[in-house]
């Protein structure tokens, strides 16, 4: 019951906005309008014998919207597609929920399974748990996305290249994740291959590479209409827009590099912030709901990037559907493990919507716990201090509680990580262990609930930053 309440919280706000956007009109009209649009774009033949061009229809819809004196496209450019995406997402949930119990028997048969290290000392210690079940939501997601593209591409033909590059990148990472679960790739490949997977996204990226400089930092670049010394030095690497009085900076290739690094971060951030039942799927579900809410807010308020946010909403609806179904089976006590397959698939999906939806900076705000976990992990990830293969919390069979895990060291080593000089062990540097160290030992189910509650609060703070604090740093 607590799990149901917890996962209802992030879904309620986007559901409210989605309902508002959908049912301002009769639902039957929405369905009929979408079908009419599909037929007119694909099956209607003009009097001269030529087929109606989708680009022409899109232009006519925009002209009609302009004639009516508003900035939004007339229905059925929005409501029908959103309804279709919701229907496909529902199919994704049902299909994933149905297939996971079936596919897990195949993975067990092939020996793709593992032991739950959080159950040592219990009756479940020797039970084989199917691994790499992230392949199921990943495959179903790709099918859902292909179905969605049928409706989306008809009204947004200019985004077809983005759609295909998104499919290619997600499919590549899904393949990489599954092979990692089977072959156990070294970490150096896990850093390089996501970079390769992001290349299709970067190659078809047609958005701006400029950023808006915070009001407080603009005097560092320009004063009295002229570049400062710092601004002139900066111009050797980037372009400072003097006509905007230093308010806009064009990063050029540096921005593309940032987006490539974002793809690598997203895929690995979820992977290293894991280790207990339900955490990988749970954090991805919450971030997905936050991204969807951001998209719907921008769509509702007529953002200039409305088309990009509709594209992102299409992807996120299907992603939330399949992830919710997987979470049902991965929640404590887990009957399946999601594996690196799901972590890489989820991370690349977020990178896709952030890059192609043109809100890559906002996306990072939803990853606050993952950023904190990465910063905490830096000393171990870069071998400054010893890094055990598994840094997940230690299960105490006597108390039934999860406790912080540690690595051994000599009394005089790593003083900056110890409270007492004579200690011969140091807590592993992860947000999970830090939470246990601050709040004390707790059960695995409760620990996951606490961590996901932190994720929800972090996403709420991200919206506070994006829609309230930002007005004090940027022009309206």
Buried b (16+ CB within 10 A) or exposed e, 250-264: ebeeebbeebbebbb
- pTM (predicted TM-score): 0.87
Q: What is the mean pLDDT of residues 454-463?
A: 96
What is the C-alpha to C-alpha distance for residues 5 and 12, in angstroms, rounded to an integer? Answer: 11
What is the C-alpha to C-alpha distance for residues 371 and 387, in angstroms, rounded to an integer? Answer: 19
Specify the pLDDT at position 418.
82
Residue 54 has pLDDT above 50, yes or no: no
Q: What is the mean pLDDT of the chain?
A: 85
The percentage of the chain sitting over the pLDDT mark of 70, rounded to a whole number, equals 88
What pLDDT digit, counting tens, does each position of 334-345 carry? Answer: 999 999 999 999
Specify the pLDDT at position 476.
67
Specify the pLDDT at position 205.
85
Query: Phi-psi bin for 385: left (phi > 0), alpha (psi -120 to 50), beta?
Result: beta
Specify the pLDDT at position 279.
95
Do residues 338 and 323 lie in contact, with contact meaning Cβ atoms separated by under 8 Å? no
What is the C-alpha to C-alpha distance for residues 387 and 364, in angstroms, rounded to an integer? Answer: 26
Q: What is the mean pLDDT of residues 11-23?
A: 84
Q: Between 444-467 and 279-300, two packed helices, what is the crossing angle to 10 degrees?
A: 20
Specify the pLDDT at position 442.
94
Task: Render 360-376 in DSSP notation, one character per residue.
Answer: HHHHHHTTHHHHHHHHH
CA distances (Å), origin 189, targets 76, 177, 193, 264, 344: 45, 11, 6, 11, 13
Residue 166 DSSP code: H
Specify the pLDDT at position 37.
65
Residue 408: in which H helix or E strand, if any? Answer: strand 406-408
Do residues 315 and 166 lie in contact, with contact meaning Cβ atoms separated by under 8 Å? yes
Specify the pLDDT at position 60.
47
Bigger pLDDT: 405 or 20? 405
Bigger pLDDT: 30 or 129? 129
Q: What is the mean pLDDT of residues 297-308?
A: 84
- pLDDT confidence bin for 17, thresholds 50/70/90: confident
Residue 117 has pLDDT above 90, yes or no: no
Residue 402, beta-bridge partner list: 395, 442
Strand extents, DSSP E, 228-376: 239-240, 248-250
Cis peptide before 333 (omega within 30 of 0): yes
Bigger pLDDT: 22 or 181? 181
What pLDDT digit, counting tens, does each position of 178-228 carry? Answer: 998 888 888 777 778 888 888 888 888 888 889 999 999 999 999 888 999
- pLDDT confidence bin for 288, thresholds 50/70/90: very high
- pLDDT confidence bin for 25, thresholds 50/70/90: low
What pLDDT digit, counting tens, does each position of 429-458 carry? Answer: 999 999 999 999 999 999 999 999 999 999
Specify the pLDDT at position 171.
94
Specify the pLDDT at position 86.
92
What pLDDT digit, counting tens, does each position of 56-90 carry? Answer: 444 544 444 444 444 443 444 677 788 889 999 99
CA distances (Å), origin 42, targets 48, 52, 155, 266: 16, 7, 11, 37
Specify the pLDDT at position 71.
42
């Amino acid at each position: 019951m607590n799990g149901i309440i917890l996962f209802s919280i992030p879904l309620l706000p986007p559901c409210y906005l989605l309902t508002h956007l959908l049912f301002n009109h009769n639902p039957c009209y929405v369905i009929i309008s979408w079908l009419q649009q599909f037929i007119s774009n694909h099956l209607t033949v003009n009097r001269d014998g030529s087929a109606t061009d989708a680009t022409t229809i899109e232009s006519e819809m925009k002209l009609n919207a302009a004639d009516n004196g508003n900035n939004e496209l007339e229905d059925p450019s929005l409501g029908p597609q959103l309804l279709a995406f919701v229907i496909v997402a529902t199919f994704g949930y049902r299909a994933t929920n149905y297939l996971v119990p079936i596919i897990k028997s195949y993975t067990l048969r092939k020996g793709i399974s593992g032991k739950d290290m959080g159950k040592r000392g219990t009756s479940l210690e020797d039970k084989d748990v199917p691994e790499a079940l992230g392949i199921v939501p990943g495959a179903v997601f790709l099918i859902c996305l292909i179905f969605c593209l049928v409706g989306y591409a008809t009204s947004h033909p200019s985004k077809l290249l983005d759609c295909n590059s998104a499919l290619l990148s997600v499919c590549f990472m899904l393949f990489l994740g599954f092979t990692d679960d089977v072959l156990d790739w070294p970490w150096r490949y896990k850093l390089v291959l996501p970079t390769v997977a992001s290349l299709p996204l970067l190659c078809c990226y047609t958005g701006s590479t400029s950023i808006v400089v915070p009001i407080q930092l603009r005097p560092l670049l320009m004063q009295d209409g002229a570049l400062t010394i710092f601004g002139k030095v900066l111009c050797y690497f980037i372009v400072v827009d003097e006509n905007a009085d230093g308010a806009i900076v064009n990063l050029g290739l540096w921005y593309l590099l940032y987006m490539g690094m974002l793809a690598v971060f997203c895929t690995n951030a979820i992977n290293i912030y894991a280790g207990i039942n339900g955490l990988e799927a749970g954090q991805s579900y919450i971030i997905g709901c936050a991204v969807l809410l951001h998209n719907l807010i921008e769509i509702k308020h007529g953002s200039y990037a409305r088309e990009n946010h509709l594209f992102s909403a299409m992807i996120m609806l299907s992603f939330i559907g399949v992830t919710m179904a997987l979470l049902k089976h991965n929640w404590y006590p887990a009957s399946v493990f999601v594996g690196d397959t799901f972590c890489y698939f989820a991370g690349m999906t977020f990178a896709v919507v952030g890059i192609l939806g043109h809100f890559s900076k906002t996306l990072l705000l939803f990853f606050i716990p993952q950023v904190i976990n990465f910063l905490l992990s830096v000393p171990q990830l870069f071998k400054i201090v010893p890094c055990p293969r598994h840094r997940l919390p230690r299960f105490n069979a006597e108390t039934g509680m999860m406790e912080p895990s540690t690595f051994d060291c000599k009394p005089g080593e790593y003083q900056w990580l110890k409270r007492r000089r004579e200690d011969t062990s140091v807590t592993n540097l992860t947000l999970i262990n830090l939470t246990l160290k601050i709040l004390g030992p707790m059960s695995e189910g409760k620990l996951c609930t606490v961590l996901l509650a932190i994720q929800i609060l972090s996403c709420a703070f991200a919206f506070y930053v994006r829609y309230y604090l930002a007005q004090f740093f940027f022009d309206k």
